[in-house]
C-alpha cells in the first residue's frame, strides 16, 4: 500500500482553511532562512505555498551566510515582541559559525511552531501539551490517516536527530509502541529491520534500503529527502515500489512525509492563533508558565 502524503494533505486542507477563516486575526508565520541553501529553499518554498493556500500570511527573512550571530538574535527578539507574528521558524541547518541551539532557543516557546525550543522539547518528553516538531507529528498523522495500529508494535527509527528521531520516539511511546532508535554505530541493523513492524528511515543515503530488507507486512516510512542529479529521492530504493504489495505500507519521496510535515506546521500555527484568540485560555497558560 502506498502511504500517500499528498492525499492526506488534500484531505486536511479544507479543515485547516475553515479553522483559519474563524480566527479573529489573520495568522502570520515568520521564516528566517539562510540565503543560498538549495535544500532549505525547496522546503521553505513548499511551506510558503501551502500557507498561502490556507490563508496563513508569511514573512520570509533571508539571512546572509556571513551574518553575525547577534544580528539574527536581535531579529528573533523583535519577532518575539511583535504581536502581529503568530509563529517563528529558524530554518536549519545554519552555517557553522552560528550556534543553532542558542538561536533556536531564543524563540518564544509560544511562537515556536517547530517545537524545537527547550521548553517544548521538555514538554514533549514529559507528556505535557505543547508544540510538537512537525515531521514527527506528520509521520504519526499519516499512520493514523491510514488506520495503521501503533499500540504494542515494534518500531525501529533509524535517525537520532533532535528534529526527527527523538521527538518521533516520544510520540510513538505516547501511543504505547515499543521503540528502538538506531544510528550509525548500531550493530546488526539488518536483523533489527527484519524484526520491526514499523521502520522509519531518516539516514540521508539514497538506496540505503531495498524492499527485501523488510519482512512482508512491514510498514516503511521514509523521512529522508536526498537529491540525486537534481531529483528528490528518499532512502528506499525506487525499484522497491514495484514490491509495494509485500509491504504493509511505504511512503513515496516526494509526495510522502514531506507533505504531512507542512500540514503539521500549519496546524501548529493555527493552534497558536486559536489560543491567542481565547484570552481565558491564554491567561490559564500564562499562569502555568509562571508556576514553572
Ligand atoms: N530543516 C529541515 N527540516 C526542518 C524543519 O522542520 N524546521 C526547521 N526549522 N529547519 C528544518
Residue at a domain's end among 65, 92, 109: 109
Residues 100 and 146 both lie in one domain: no
Compute, in angstroms, the gap from residue 87 CA to the centroid of ligand 1. 14
Per the annotation, the verdict on 47 as an active-site residue is yes
Q: Please report whether residue 52 resides in a domain.
A: yes
CA-based max dimension of the chain: 55
User: What total number of domains does the chain contain?
Assistant: 2
Task: Give pLDDT, residue 38.
Answer: 80
3-class DSSP state of 276: helix
Q: What is the pTM of this model?
A: 0.93
Looking at residue 230, which CATH number applies to its domain? 3.40.50.720
Query: Does residue 118 belong to any structural domain of this protein?
Result: no
pLDDT per residue, tens digit, the chain (292 aa), is 999 999 999 999 999 999 999 999 999 999 999 988 888 888 899 999 999 999 999 999 999 999 999 999 999 999 999 999 999 999 999 999 999 999 999 999 999 999 999 999 999 999 999 999 999 999 999 999 999 999 999 999 999 999 999 999 999 999 999 999 999 999 999 999 999 999 999 999 999 999 889 999 999 999 999 999 989 999 999 776 677 888 999 999 999 999 999 999 999 999 999 998 555 555 455 444 444 3
Given ligand 1 and candidates 87, 92, 106, which is best to mutate, with the most ligand atoms within 8 Å of its CB?
92
The pLDDT score that the predictor gives to residue 281 is: 53
pLDDT at 239: 76
Asked if residue 124 belongs to a domain, the reply is no
CA angle at 81 for the pair 80 and 87, rounded to the nearest 5°: 35
Using CA atoms, how far residue 244 sits from 194, 211, 238, in Å, is 16, 8, 11
Residues 29 and 81 in one domain: yes
Same-domain check for residues 151 and 232? yes
pLDDT at position 95 is 94
* Dist CA 261 CA 41 (whole Å): 15
Q: Do residues 140 and 240 both lie within one domain?
A: yes
- For residue 75, the domain's CATH number is 3.40.50.10860
The pLDDT value given to residue 84 = 97
212 is catalytic: no
Whether residues 37 and 74 share a domain: the answer is: yes
**Dihedral angle sign, alpha carbons of residues 226, 231, 232, 236:** negative
Taking a C-beta distance cutoff of 8 angstroms, is the pair 221, 201 a contact? yes
Residue 120 belongs to a domain: no
Nearest by Cα to 59 from 95, 94, 84, 22 = 84
Shared domain check, 149 and 244: yes
Pocket of ligand 1 contains residue 134 by CB under 6 Å: yes
**Residue-number span of the structural domain to which 189 is assigned:** 134-258
| Catalytic residue chosen out of the listed positions 4, 12, 33, 47 | 47
**C-alpha span between 213 and 19 (Å, rounded):** 42
| 62 domain residue, yes or no | yes
272 lines ligand 1 (CB under 6 A): no
Tell me, yes or no, whether 121 lies in a domain. Answer: no
241 Cα: distance to centroid of ligand 1 (angstroms): 27
pLDDT per residue as tens digits for the range 274-288: 998 555 555 455 444
Torsion angles phi and psi, residue 76, rounded to 5: -65, -45
The residue annotated as part of the active site, out of 91, 166, 197, 235, is: 91
Same domain, 139 and 79: no
Amino acid at each position: 500500500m502506498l502511504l500517500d502524503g499528498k492525499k492526506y494533505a488534500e484531505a486536511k486542507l479544507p479543515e485547516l482553511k475553515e479553522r483559519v477563516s474563524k480566527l479573529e486575526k489573520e495568522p502570520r508565520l515568520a521564516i528566517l532562512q539562510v540565503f543560498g541553501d538549495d535544500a532549505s529553499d525547496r522546503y521553505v518554498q513548499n511551506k510558503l505555498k501551502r500557507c498561502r493556500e490556507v490563508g496563513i500570511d508569511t514573512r520570509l527573512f533571508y539571512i546572509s551566510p556571513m551574518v553575525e550571530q547577534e544580528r539574527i538574535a536581535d531579529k528573533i527578539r523583535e519577532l518575539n515582541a511583535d504581536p502581529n507574528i503568530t509563529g517563528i521558524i529558524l530554518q536549519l541547518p545554519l552555517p557553522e559559525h552560528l550556534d543553532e541551539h542558542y538561536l533556536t532557543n531564543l524563540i518564544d516557546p509560544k511562537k515556536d511552531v517547530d517545537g524545537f525550543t527547550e521548553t517544548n522539547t521538555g514538554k514533549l518528553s514529559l507528556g505535557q501539551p505543547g508544540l510538537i516538531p512537525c515531521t514527527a507529528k506528520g509521520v504519526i498523522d499519516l499512520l493514523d490517516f491510514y488506520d495503521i495500529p501503533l499500540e504494542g508494535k515494534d518500531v525501529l527509527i533509524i535517525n537520532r536527530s533532535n528534529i526527527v528521531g527523538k521527538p518521533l520516539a516520544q510520540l510513538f511511546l505516547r501511543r504505547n509502541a515499543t521503540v528502538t532508535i538506531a544510528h550509525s554505530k548500531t550493530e546488526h541493523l539488518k536483523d533489527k529491520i527484519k524484526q520491526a513492524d514499523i521502520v522509519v528511515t531518516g539516514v540521508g543515503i539514497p538506496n540505503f534500503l531495498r524492499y527485501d530488507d523488510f519482512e512482508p507486512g512491514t510498514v516503511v516510512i521514509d523521512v529522508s529527502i536526498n537529491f540525486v542529479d537534481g531529483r528528490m529521492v528518499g532512502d528506499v530504493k525506487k525499484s522497491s515500489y514495484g514490491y509495494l504489495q509485500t509491504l504493509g505500507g511505504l511512503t513515496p519521496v516526494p509526495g510522502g512525509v514531506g507533505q504531512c510535515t507542512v500540514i503539521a506546521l500549519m496546524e501548529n500555527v493555527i493552534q497558536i492563533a486559536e489560543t491567542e484568540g481565547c484570552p481565558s485560555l491564554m491567561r490559564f497558560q500564562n499562569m502555568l508558565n509562571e508556576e514553572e
